[in-house]
Amino acid sequence: MDNGIFTLNGKVAAIIGAGSGIGAAVAAGAARQGAAVLCLDSNQAAAQAVASSIGGGATAAAVDIRDAKGVTATFDAIVRDRGRLDIVVCTPSINVRKTILQYAEDEFDRVVAVNLKGSFNVLQAAGRIMTAQKSGSIVIFSSIRSQVVEPGQSVYAMTKAGIVQLVRTAAAEFGSSGVRVNALGPGIVETPLTAQIKANADWYGAYAEKSVLKRWATAEEMVGPTLFLVSDAASYVTGTILFADGGWTAADGRFTPPGM
């Protein structure tokens, strides 16, 4: 276990979306760094399976981030049981891939409810606790789609850009109380959410080529950037987005000029 500035010894960490994918990887990583981990997910059975695999006293509970009262009650219960809440990481999001002209109202509402309203609910509930205790770190997952888009990404991209502004505002409002708030911006990661893309060889290959590393990321590769942001190694980092995208947003186009 790391005993340096990256350690999470003595920290109480709530990882939302811990039932699978990036959230599960982050929960396991936080436990390896010494945190007392609460695995939260809308699927309690999946969260419990991850908590059991982590061991070390990790526990699980169900939470639907669309339900503001439910999020508040879950965080309040953590404080009652553990005495504090030091870290909150929120990974869940959904996407409906349709053009603007094809989007239905209920689809719009569903994506916004999870990605944007859910993120706000988490920020608000965690912020109330952390500003009162005068410490804490929150990481909300955004995306490269907060910066760059493709057809069919309108509402998803809108919510991911909105998360960045929520994070910036929360950082400005919570900073005087010693609370840091940041966003993480993954590129293309192999998770259940991207299974549809992986199943299409041409689509999968096109995304791999867009990264300057010429491959997709694993969920495990999101652990280091996330734990950096919540650790004391990032004690002066707040109100920003850290891209872990394999250079996706750095490279402009796919053509290499002759002689290069």
**What residues act catalytically?**
156
Query: CA torsion, points 35, 39, 40, 42, in degrees to nearest 10?
Result: 160
d(CA 150, CA 162): 17
d(CA 102, CA 10): 49
At residue 215, the 3 state secondary structure works out as coil
**Are residues 114 and 92 in contact, defined by beta-carbon separation less than 8 angstroms?**
yes
Of 69, 79, 1, the residue nearest 38 (C-alpha): 79
Locate 101 and state its tokens.
Answer: 């002209």
